Amino acid sequence: MRWRAATTPAPAPADPGLGDLTPDQRLRRLELTVTRRLDGLLHGQYRGLLPGPGSEAAGSREYRPGEDEVRRMDWAVTARTTVPHVREVEADRELTTWLLVDASPSMEYGTAELDKRELSVAAVAAVGFLTAGVGNRLGATVLAPGGLRRFPARSGRTHLLGLLRALLGAPRGGDDRRNRPPAGPDLADGLAAVHRIARRRGLVVVVSDFLDGLPDDPEDEPPWERDLRRLAVRHQVLAIEVIDPRELELPDVGLITLTDPETGRRREVWTGDPGLRQRYAAAAAVQREQVRQALRRSGASHLPLRTDRDWSADIVRHVHAQRRPAAAPAAEATRGGVG
C-alpha cells in the first residue's frame, strides 16, 4: 500500500507549470526546453547495437557490378536463382524506440511545480525529440487503470505530438473511487506487452515510479523484475524513475490526511511526531534502494527524475555519465591499433 499526502498544498510556482497551460502550450514549452537544453546530446549520437553498417537482415537483391562488395554476396540465393545476389541489411542508426509509460493513479501525485504524471510526459518528450531522426521510429504503451493503450511505432513530429497530447489529456482518477475503473494491468503486464511487440532490437524506455508490487521484504524480487530483465537481454533499456520529494520524507505540518491513490483509503497522521517522520524516511529509503537494486540486476540504465528538480539538467548529467564509460573502450582500441 502506497500512501500519499492529500492535504499538503503544492507551492505556487513563479512561472506557470505544465498543469496551468493548454496542451499545445505545454507541448511547445516542452519542445523548447528540450531543444535549448538537450539538443545535440542524444540526437543522432547513440551507438549502434552491433559494429558495421547494419545488422538486421532485410532480404537480398541483384548484384550491381562496381557498386556492391563481393563479400556481401548472398550465395544461397545466388545458387537458387543462378543470378548473383547480395545481402541487404538495415542500418543500426535507424533506431526504434519503445516507451512504456505508467499512468496509474500513483503517478497523479505531486507537491512541486510538476506532478509525477506531468514529469513523465516531460521525460517522454525528451526521449521523443532527442531520438527523432530520419528512419527512426517511436512507439508507446501506456499503462492506465482502464487497460493498456498502444501507439504503433511511427516516425515524425506529428506522431510524437499526438502521443504527448494523449498523455497530457488522459483522464485523472482524482480521489473519487466511485468513478474509477477497476484495477487495471500492472507494470509486469506492461513490460510483457512491450516484449511481445518489440521484436527488432532497439531502445526501450520505461517511465514509472516502480512502486507497483514492491514486496515488504527488501530481499524479495519485485514482480516486474523478471520481465524487465527479459527486455534488457535484447534491447538497451532505460528506466526513468519518477519521484516526488514527499515520497521520501514528511514535513512537520501538523495533522494531514494520507490517501492511497490505488484504493482511495484514507488515514490521518500527525506529522509533528519526529519518530514518525524518521520511520517514514527510513522506510522510503528502503523502498528506493529496492528499486535501484532491482533495476541494476535487470541490466537497465537507471535515471531518477524528481518533481522538485531541473529534470532537463538531470538528463544532461545522465547522458554524460553514460558516455564516459562507453567511450573508454573505443579510445583504448584506437590507442592499441596505433601502437
Residue 19 domain-assigned (yes or no) = no
Q: How far is Cα 32 from Cα 36, in angstroms, rounded to an integer? A: 6
Residue 314 shares a structural domain with residue 192: yes
Residue 129 shares a structural domain with residue 274: yes
Show the beta-strand stretches assigned E in the chain.
Answer: 4-5, 56-62, 85-90, 96-102, 137-144, 147-154, 203-208, 236-243, 255-259, 266-270, 301-306
Residue 68 shares a structural domain with residue 180: no
More confident residue, 182 or 239: 239
Question: Are the beta carbons of 113 and 307 closer than 8 angstroms?
Answer: yes
pLDDT tens readout for residues 27-48 = 566 555 554 444 444 444 443 3
Residue 249 domain-assigned (yes or no) = yes
**How many domains is the chain partitioned into structurally?**
2
> Which residue, 285, 239, 8, 23, is CA-closest to 120?
239
Residue 49 domain-assigned (yes or no) = no
Coil, strand, or helix at residue 38?
coil
The percentage of the chain sitting over the pLDDT mark of 90, rounded to a whole number, equals: 28
Q: Has residue 118 got a pLDDT over 80?
A: yes
Residue 136 shares a structural domain with residue 116: yes
Q: Has residue 207 got a pLDDT over 50?
A: yes
Residue 75 shares a structural domain with residue 97: no
Residue 321 shares a structural domain with residue 206: yes
Q: pLDDT tier at 51 (50, 70, 90 boundaries)?
A: very low
Question: Are the beta carbons of 210 and 291 closer than 8 angstroms?
Answer: yes
Backbone angles phi, psi at 96, to 5 degrees: -110, 120
Q: Has residue 249 got a pLDDT over 60?
A: yes
Residue 2 domain-assigned (yes or no) = no
pLDDT, mean of residues 290-316: 91
Residue 161 domain-assigned (yes or no) = yes
Stretch among 4-18, 48-62, 192-206 having the lowest mean pLDDT: 4-18
Residue 244 shares a structural domain with residue 146: yes
Residue 151 shares a structural domain with residue 198: yes
CA distances from 54 to 73, 88, 154, 237 (A): 15, 9, 20, 20
Residue 72 shares a structural domain with residue 100: no
Residue 169 shares a structural domain with residue 190: yes
Stretch among 118-127, 164-173, 198-207, 245-254 having the lowest mean pLDDT: 164-173
Residue 147 shares a structural domain with residue 218: yes
Predicted local distance difference test score (pLDDT) of residue 142 = 94
> Residue 234 sits in which domain range?
93-333
The percentage of the chain sitting over the pLDDT mark of 70, rounded to a whole number, equals: 71
